[in-house]
Amino acid sequence: MPRHFSMIREFHLADWFTLGNAFCGTGAIFSAMRFLQEGDVRDLMIGMALIPLAFILDALDGRIARWRKSSSTLGRELDSLADIISFGVAPAALAYACGLQGGWDWMVLSYFVGCGVSRLARYNVTAEQLSGDEGKVKYFEGTPIPTSLLLVVVLWVAASQDAIGSQLWLGMVQLGPWQLHPLVLLFAISGSLMISKTLHIPKP
């Protein structure tokens, strides 16, 4: 008979690192929300610092799974769900907290998250097709979603220089009824690169 929490007991070591990744991403979102509530820039910086930690955990879970030869379909799905939190939703939330709050900014940030979700779904579906004779995916189609860490680094530098809110780099323009902060276009570029079909990135 199935027992309570049997799924948790069946987690592999790598899965716990994956959950740590998701924990960091969730913490970054909460930190962004706390900054908007309290206005203490330290909360924002803490949230940004959690994304590199999530990146490290994301890199380790795959290595551990290969080392212990314990990869599974559940682990792959957990990895994708954790990644969309830490490298999709969390960077968008941090960007919003930094001042990308215009109507066009919302659209671009939503597009970025949508691209991340689509990119991960495509990878899960096509991973078997992209595998060579060794059964290992040799390249990524489009940039991997963890590359959004670079966007967080840009936001961290801006926050460390107090270039957030009304002082955000590149200023703001009014386009029709909504505002656009040109800095948000970095997210549009990142999202577009993730869903590229022709850009192939060698997989380590």
Domain that holds residue 43: 6-202
pLDDT digits (tens, 9 = 90+) for 97-127: 999 999 999 999 999 999 999 999 888 787 6
Is 151 a domain residue?
yes
pTM comes to 0.87
The token duo for 80 is 């994708």
In this structure, of 129-138, 154-163, 179-188, the range with the lowest mean pLDDT score is 129-138
Tell me, what's the pLDDT at 30? 98
pLDDT tens string 82-95: 999 999 999 999 99
Q: How far apart are CA 25 and CA 13, in angstroms?
A: 19
Is 190 inside any structural domain? yes
Rg of the Cα trace of the chain? 18
Is position 81 within any domain? yes
Residue 1 included in any domain: no
Give pLDDT, residue 142: 87
Q: Which residues contact 133 (CB under 8 A, 6 or more apart)?
A: none
Angstrom distance (rounded) from CA 14 to CA 20: 10
Confirm if 184 and 106 have CB atoms less than 8 A apart.
no
Domain-located, residue 88: yes
Range 20-23, long-range pairs (CB < 8 A, 24+ positions): 20/54, 20/57, 21/54, 21/57, 21/58, 21/61, 21/79, 21/82, 21/83, 21/85, 21/86, 22/54, 22/78, 22/81, 22/82, 22/85, 22/86
* CATH code of residue 23: 1.20.120.1760
Q: How many domains does the chain have?
A: 1
Q: 160 in a domain, yes or no?
A: yes
Average pLDDT over residues 24-31: 97
Where is pLDDT greater, at 91 or 79?
91
121-152 pLDDT, tens digit per residue, is 888 787 666 655 455 666 778 899 999 999 99
Domain presence at residue 153? yes
* pLDDT band, residue 46 (cuts 50/70/90): very high
Question: Nearest to residue 21, comparing CAs of 89, 95, 110?
Answer: 89
Q: What is the rounded average pLDDT for all residues in the chain?
A: 87
Is there a domain that residue 29 lies in?
A: yes
